[in-house]
Structure 1
Amino acid sequence: MKSGDGNRIRLQPKWRKVAYGGRQPGYDDNYTDESFLEEMVMNASVVKRDLLKVMIDSVSISQYLCIVALVVSTWTLTLNLVIDESTLLKLDVGLLLVGFSVLLLTTCPFSVQLLSNSDSIWALAVTLLLVHLFLHDYSGSTIRPPGALNNPKLTSNISLNASIVASVLVASRLPSRLHVFAIMLFSLQVFLFAPLITFCIKKYHFWLHLLFSFALMVATLNVTYRLHQMFFILLLALLVFISIVCPYWLIRIQEYKFEINGPWDEAKLCFDITE
């Protein structure tokens, strides 16, 4: 018996991996030998992030948050008739000239692919702006070279439409047609062209992007402090949370990420299509 068992063991075919659960004679379906874990790789696709790099990347979010805060401040001052229509039109022309000057100086060859009572109006406008901020494309993927066939994302379109509807709601409370025209022109300039301008500055010079962002934050905090102290505190808390707390959390959470890859994973097909 023992001799027969030994011969049977010696004659047993060597185990090998068979795709799609192929059965091998003499082995159980769930059998694995010592070579099965040799191809195991841990944390192969885990990206190691640096705290400073994450904080710098978050500047784009804080930058656009300040832009929206400036728009809200301008809306408030206009509704309170602190800014009249002539001043607002001058601001529109100035922003338009500055925007085109930045585009010319940075030579950025890109195009953008986009498109009741006072309390209830303000509530709806704030809600739409929150939707705009939440769905806004902070990576700049909606800004593509001319001739690109990629269509803008649905979220980007919803974000832009939400900002325009919020602008219309605020404009409906103004006393004159010229006021309405000026505030709508101002809102369209900011929401349509601000992402393009900031993207071009970032591509043109990284340190200029950081300098512009910090200057924008200081100017926005100064305006909001003069407008309303609670608005100032809320904006300052958001900027600290986005630029410091969130990157710190991301780095800390990364320490607990554990990923295992090996021969048990499904095969990934890669196609190399060349023209």
Structure 2
Amino acid sequence: MVCAQVETSPRRRWQKVLYERQPFPDNYVDQRFLEELRKNIHARQYQYWAVVFESGAVAQQLCSVCVFVVTWWYMDAGMLSPQRLFGAGLVSSLLGYILFNVIDAGVGRQESGRTWWADLKSTLVFIAFTYGFSPVLKTLTESISTDTIYAMSAFMLLGHLIFFDYGANAAIVSSTLSLNMAIFASVCLASRLPRSLHAFVMVTFAMQIFALWPMLQKKLKAQTPRCYVAVTMLFALAALVGLMTISSVGAVLFALLLLCISCLCPYCLIRLQLFKDNIHGPWDEAEIKEDLSRFLM
């Protein structure tokens, strides 16, 4: 709408009201119109190292997917036995469980009201059901070609990364969907392993790295940020070393991806904030700031 500006100063001063008849056009504005202009009043000021710290969640999840795929490749090639993987996963889960409760001195457990015995029963039930259905998991996708299985697994792991909860309050975030897609990918890949025991161990390992490991990382991030940074760097190094044993080119590309996400993307985000230009003024929609909840009762 084109705003009309009266050149001659009127005798009566214009008022921004609708309940009085004024000798001005409906689209008239005076010289004070642009005085209320405000720019970037809700813009956030980011610090580079703070953004790098927050990007660690994305890097860790990428490393989790990398470690999972490398582990599956070793089992498929016969270079890693399911007994060794299950034993290593059991020991690491036990250590992580103890660390999870030690970090906050058991405060989180007291707030949730969950006991050690309840956790043990849930673990035993999951292991029993997974082991019992492992022959079904092994033969579940026999009628599907291997290329299709690999494509489905890649698509599901990509969806897992997209919908994972990195701490952002967005509509696309869905922890349940992200975990289900990761487990579906693990079932697809486990069905191509030699025996049902391999499938059982692979699905169990997927639950550990996609469900339990992020919970421990969130607790470390909230309680001990320095330990969180150290664990993130060690985990990324382990993922790179594991990938290096399979493909040196893939390891280099993955390292570049991690550097891009952890260093380059935060820098670009901060630089782009300089070009942000949101304007606010009297043309904005009215916002009711009064608490109206009492009228809804």
**TM-score in same-fold range (> 0.5):** yes
Partner residue in 2 for 1:99 = 96
1:226: Cα distance to partner? 1.4
What is the aligned partner in structure 2 of residue 211 from structure 1?
230
Return closer, same or farther for 1:238/1:154 CA change in 2, 3 Å cut-off: closer
Q: Partner of 1:132 in structure 2? A: 160
* Aligned match of 2:14: 15
After superposition, residues 157-236 of structure 1 pair within 5 angstroms as: 157-236=176-255
**What pairs up with 1:61-140 in 2 under 5 angstroms?**
61-107=58-104, 109=108, 116-139=144-167
Normalising by structure 2, we get a TM-score of: 0.77
Q: Distance in 1 between matches of 2:68 and 2:157?
A: 10
1:73-126 deviations in Å (ceiling 9; x for gaps): 111111111111211210221222122022111136277xxxx23332222211
| In the alignment, structure 1 residue 261 sits paired with structure 2 residue 280 | yes
Query: In 1, Cα distance between the equivalents of 2:290 and 2:208?
Result: 42
Deviations 1:187-221 (A, max 9, x none): 11211112111000111111111111111111111
* Matching residue of 2:24: 27
Question: Which of residues 239, 261, 270 in structure 2 aligns to 1:242?
Answer: 261
Contact 2:82/2:197, CA 8 A, preserved across alignment: yes
Which TM-score applies when normalising by structure 1? Answer: 0.83
Query: 1:156: how far off?
Result: 2.5
Supply the distance in 1 between the matched residues of 2:20 and 2:248 (Cα, whole angstroms): 73
> In the alignment, does 2:34 pair up with 1:60?
no
Matched to 2:165, the amino acid is: D
Letter matched to residue 15 of structure 2: R
Matching residue of 2:118: none
The 1:140–1:211 alpha-carbon spacing in structure 2 relative to 1, beyond 3 Å, is farther
- 1:4 maps to what in 2? none
- Given residue 29 of structure 1, which amino acid in structure 2 is its aligned partner? D
User: 2:23 and 2:168 mapped to 1: Cα distance?
Assistant: 58
- Counterpart Cα distance in 2 of 1:140 and 1:221: 27
CA distance in 2, matches of 1:100, 1:52: 30
Q: For residues 82 and 233 of structure 2, what CA distance do their matches in structure 1 show? A: 30
Note the residue ranges of structure 2 that are not aligned, 5 or more in a row. 1-9, 113-143
* 8 Å Cα contact 2:243/2:251 also seen in 1: yes
Verify: 1:252 aligned to 2:242, yes or no: no
Distance in 2 (CA, whole Å) between partners of 1:187 and 1:90 is: 14
Query: Helix, strand or coil: the match of 1:38?
Result: helix
Q: CA contact under 8 A between 1:92 and 1:182: conserved in structure 2?
A: no
- Preserved contact between residue 55 and residue 247 of structure 1 (Cα < 8 Å): yes
Aligned match of 1:146: none
Three-state SS of the structure 2 residue aligned to 1:37 is: helix
Residue 36 of structure 2 aligns to a residue whose secondary structure is coil
Q: Identity of paired residues, percent?
A: 32
Superposition pairs for residues 132-151 of structure 1, below 5 Å? 132-139=160-167
Deviations 1:228-254 (A, max 9, x none): 213212211210110112112112211
Match of 1:50 in 2: 47
Instruction: State the one-letter code of the partner of 1:129.
Output: L
CA spacing shift, 1:26–1:271, aligned 2, 3 Å: closer
Report how many aligned residue pairs link the two structures: 250
Q: CA deviation at 1:153?
A: 7.4
Aligned partner of residue 174 in structure 2, secondary structure? helix
